[in-house]
Amino acid sequence: MSDAMPRNTRTLSAGGHECQYVPIADDRRAQTLPFALKVLLENLMRHEDGRTVTRDDIEGLLDWDPAAEPSREIAFRPARVLLQDFTGVPAVVDLAAMRDAMEDLGGDPAKIAPLQPAELVIDHSVQVDSYGEANSMNLNAELEYSRNRERYSFLKWGQQAFETFKVVPPDTGIVHQVNLEYLARTVFLEDRADGSCMAYPDTLVGTDSHTTMINGLGVLGWGVGGIEAEAAMLGQPISMLIPQVVGFRLTGKLAEGATATDLVLVIVEQLRKHGVVGKFVEFFGDGLADLPLADRATIANMAPEYGATCGIFPIDDETLEYLRLTGREESHIQFIEAYARGQGLWRDDSAPVARYSDLLELDLSTVEPSLAGPKRPQDRIPLSQAGAEISRHLDTVLKERVSGKDEPSEAERFATEGGHTAVGVEHQAEEPHHTAIEMGGETFTLDHGDVVIAAITSCTNTSNPSVMLGAGLVARKARERGLKVKPWVKTSLAPGSRVVTDYLQNAGLLEDLEDLGFYVVGYGCTTCIGNSGPLPEAISEAIVKDDLVVSSVLSGNRNFEGRIHSEVQMNFLASPPLVVAYALAGRSNLDLYNDPLGDDADGNPVYLKDIWPTSQEVRDEVARHVGAGSFTTAYGDLYTGENRWRNLEAPSGDRFDWQEDSTYVRKPPYFDGMGMTPAETPDIEGARVLALLGDSVTTDHISPAGSIASDSPAARYLEEQGVKPADFNSYGSRRGNHEVMMRGTFANVRLRNLLAPGTQGGVTRHLPDGEQMSIYDASMRYQAEGTPLVVIAGKEYGTGSSRDWAAKGTLLLGVKAVIVESYERIHRSNLVGMGVLPLQFHDGENAESLGLTGEETYTITGIRSGEAKEATVTATADDGSRKEFRVRVRLDTPQEIDYYRHGGILPYVLRQLAGEG
């Protein structure tokens, strides 16, 4: 960051600190801006330079029209960048490759380095291989290091090669929870080169979509792709349009029995129905007075699930109390309060409501226990109706299995249209012959709807002491009544930080959870990102043999098909206490309100209400056992790590020594042959469709993070490199190797490509001969023939994780343009960042309405190097007939047009830095 002091600063003394700051509250127009836009205003005023930030930009924000469609571009400079290892490894790979390319262009490689704090937390690699045992965490950690040693060594190299880059070692916690509990500043106090101090709001972008969790602490930040984060680290501003801001008023307080998880599922459902993609959501109202910071963080965490860029809460007394609880310095907390009050960033319910683009409201007392599924977070099911709804869904799935439909089924519509309207019918399938299974001294059979995975996982909920201690109390009461988890359920407890283990131990509840099989398996994302590990062999064999539709229940934030486990078709999000309850029940299609979970030692039925703790019991446990000592102990040696990390060997030096035989870290091809002048971006002629897809295609569908199928192109590549199937690891762990990742693009086992009807997975047909093959193989053949490619899809394309490989892999497969009905924000930005042209059908039009089969050849004209707002697409069938239609060019800002012309963000930045001086 520049050491030049902004103009019009003032001095603020508080808490023993004396710092300069840029006042924003003087202008009356600023006083009625939403909290989030005030933070953006300060950012613009502090960075006004007459070039990237002008006085017109500042005036445009001050005169913000809440009702107007976003049109004014601004340059946002986040204070820091946050990464996790799945997305962070390719980011560091790119930085290392950029240093090499910089030298090739005659520039100074040292210019390729983060110019502001960049922190990476290793949390995405631990897998639940071992569970239900006291030694499970250690065994999983050993396997994690064995599988990922090369990646971790590479990250240790990066930490010594880049001065402002820090790595939080494995088995510490989940990135967003570590950010909330330790890394976040709320207000930055920056020591400048001239000895002065500059104060400003903490802001960030992160390479994970759930970066938004920090919005609960009054910190503005959101997820971006790794390539955009790299540009930010290298001093490039984040180009964005001043967004619309939806105000969400919360009133009342949660009713007895309702949890923060239930609340966020209601909010996700409500906001998805309203539509907030690309917008900020800002929470306010008197309901915040009784909403703990951990509950706010839970709501903010799931902003990607309700589609918003962020879901932010203002700074207030609860913010300060949480900072004290987590062991932040009192002098800093006092300064934060003075700064927030002076800048108009303090929550004041007596002040006029800010101007918002829309207003929504929720009475917290109406929230009831819920779960969401079986395939999307927004498909909420009230717990009182869950047994019947899931049973109806199962009936429909089994009936359609017999009918053998190729068209989208009623069950699929259940998961893709929202709402739970599947008709209850008696399924006409023959009941499969269920195989007797023997495990742990018990013999049983598995059936449709049985829960085979019950996982307390994810920062969304494990960051919240009320639901974690609530789960412990459910376990204690169940244990007292003699209940046991069903033997077919794989149980796991993966806290988001070591703080959780500490307070569960202090409360004596960890022992109760362990008695039910919920042993700590590691400190990372685990099941929530698909690292659920293998099911017991007998369970897996029964599922496959009897073609069973089984379930997982997890306290995570995502349940997209194919994400949690390839053999588990139904996945439900629920609170940690409900995860324990479903593990006891063993079935997802049980009526938990009326059916017993099991029998006690005397043969008496035990119901959910018998073991559910009261809100007061939970509050008492939180008050007794959650304190600052747990946090200061857990974060005392954050960057040091345990012996495994300390003893890990790593290369040194400013340039990375690429190893040709590496299957984890390979030099990427993005800068090969690159010159100082970008090549022209002509119209696209004679393209073929690589994949014709439907609605709600997620980044998990495009770039899976889970296991590598043994018959996949990625598996064939690894075997050719001498890697045994047992050592394949996951796609997520191999994101530093473009050869694996491009072969894994569009390789999700649940992907449905309409060009290859009746198939699932990464399958397509090569045209015009019609030969069916893998998407990767077809891509290679097309590229050898010199044929450009396009992808066509429906609504909400690219929803889910901020997975830059979903765009990188698309580019490397030879895709020049994507044409869809609508995009999720991050993926569209990632496509632009890789030089892939995002196009959008006009409202009311799609592939079906235009009569497109995907078998045509496509010509896209009028692009004008990305400067055009619209382009013309001509689809020519084999018989010579043509269909012509117009599409929107979704390069939304002048900066994005520049990125596209240069072939992406990184070539653009590289040329800028190489040309300096």
CA-to-CA dists, residue 616 to 255, 262, 469, 785, angstroms? 12, 18, 12, 69
The two three-digit tokens of residue 327, written as one number: 């062991």
Q: Strand 684-692 relative to strand 789-792: parallel, antiparallel, unpaired?
A: parallel
The two three-digit tokens of residue 691, written as one number: 């994949």
Q: Which helix (H) or strand (E) holds 682?
A: none
pLDDT of the residue at 916:
75
pLDDT of the residue at 225:
81
Q: Are 205 and 228 in contact (CB under 8 A)?
A: yes
User: Comparing 80-366 with 684-701+773-901, is the CATH topology the same?
Assistant: no
Return the closest-CA partner of residue 59 out of 242, 219, 260.
Answer: 242
The DSSP result for 403-416, as a single string, is: HT--SPPHHHHHHH
**CA pair distance 245, 240, nearest whole angstrom:** 14
Q: Are 712 and 742 in contact (CB under 8 A)?
A: no
**Other beta carbons within 10 Å of 492:** 28
Residue 715 three-state SS: helix
**pLDDT tens digits, residue range 495-526?**
999 999 999 999 999 999 999 999 999 999 99
Tell whether omega for the bond before 374 is within 30 degrees of 0, i.e. cis.
yes
**CA pair distance 307, 309, nearest whole angstrom:** 7
Task: List 550's β-bridge partners, or say none.
Answer: none
Dihedral angle over CA of 835, 837, 838, 842, nearest 10? 160
pLDDT of the residue at 451:
98
pLDDT of the residue at 800:
80
Q: Which helix (H) or strand (E) holds 21?
A: strand 17-21
Task: List 62's β-bridge partners, or say none.
Answer: none
Residue 100 three-state SS: helix
* Residues in the chain with pLDDT values less than 70: 1-5, 404-433, 917
pLDDT of the residue at 412:
42
**Other beta carbons within 10 Å of 538:** 15
Q: Which helix (H) or strand (E) holds 322?
A: helix 317-325
Return the closest-CA partner of residue 817 out of 750, 868, 772, 743.
Answer: 868
Q: Are 18 and 12 in contact (CB under 8 A)?
A: yes
**Residue with tokens 């889970």, as numbered in its chain:** 706
Q: Strand 245-251 relative to strand 280-284: parallel, antiparallel, unpaired?
A: parallel
What CATH fold (topology level) applies to the domain 80-366?
Aconitase; domain 3 (3.30.499)
CA-based angle 592:597:602, to the nearest 5? 145
Residue 638 three-state SS: coil
**pLDDT tens digits, residue range 810-830?**
999 999 999 999 998 889 989
The two three-digit tokens of residue 68, written as one number: 């107007």
The two three-digit tokens of residue 821, written as one number: 């009905």
**CA pair distance 809, 803, nearest whole angstrom:** 10
The DSSP result for 337-406, as a single string, is: HHHHHHTT-B--TTSPPPP-SEEEEEEGGG---EEE-SS-TT-EEEHHHHHHHHHHHHHHHHHHHHHT--
**Other beta carbons within 10 Å of 702:** 28
Q: Which residues of 320-340 are buried (b: 16+ CB within 10 A; e: fewer)?
A: bebbebbbbeeebbebbbbbb
**CA pair distance 39, 218, nearest whole angstrom:** 10
Rg of the chain over CA atoms, in angstroms? 27
**CA pair distance 408, 573, nearest whole angstrom:** 24
The two three-digit tokens of residue 508, written as one number: 């004596």
Burial (CB < 10 A; 0-12, 13-18, 19+), residue 274, is middle
**CA pair distance 852, 876, nearest whole angstrom:** 10
What CATH fold (topology level) applies to the domain 684-701+773-901?
Aconitase; domain 4 (3.20.19)
**Other beta carbons within 10 Å of 686:** 12
Domain 432-633 in CATH 3.30.499.10? The answer is yes
The two three-digit tokens of residue 629, written as one number: 């000592």
**CA pair distance 311, 366, nearest whole angstrom:** 21
**CA pair distance 808, 806, nearest whole angstrom:** 6
pLDDT of the residue at 12:
97
**CA pair distance 352, 409, nearest whole angstrom:** 50
DSSP 594: T
Return the closest-CA partner of residue 813 out of 687, 915, 707, 652.
Answer: 687
**pLDDT tens digits, residue range 77-112?**
999 999 999 888 999 999 999 999 999 999 999 999
Question: Which residues fall within 8 angstroms of residue 864, CB to CB, at 6 or more apart?
Answer: none
**CA pair distance 700, 895, nearest whole angstrom:** 28
Q: Which residues of 733-768 are buried (b: 16+ CB within 10 A; e: fewer)?
A: bbbbbbbbbbbbbbbbbbbbbbbbeebebbbbbbbe
pLDDT of the residue at 3:
53
DSSP 181: I
Q: Strand 882-889 relative to strand 870-876: parallel, antiparallel, unpaired?
A: antiparallel
Q: Are 225 and 47 in contact (CB under 8 A)?
A: no
The two three-digit tokens of residue 192, written as one number: 């400048």
Residue 75 three-state SS: strand
The two three-digit tokens of residue 19, written as one number: 């710092």
Task: List 255's β-bridge partners, or say none.
Answer: none
**Residue with tokens 């429906």, as numbered in its chain:** 794
pLDDT of the residue at 228:
86
**Residue with tokens 């959501």, as numbered in its chain:** 281
pTM of the model: 0.87
Question: What are the extents of the domains in the chain?
Answer: 19-73, 80-366, 432-633, 684-701+773-901
The DSSP result for 499-566, as a single string, is: HHHHHHHHTT-HHHHHHTT--B--SS-GGGGT---PPPHHHHHHHHHHT---EEEESSS---TTTS-T
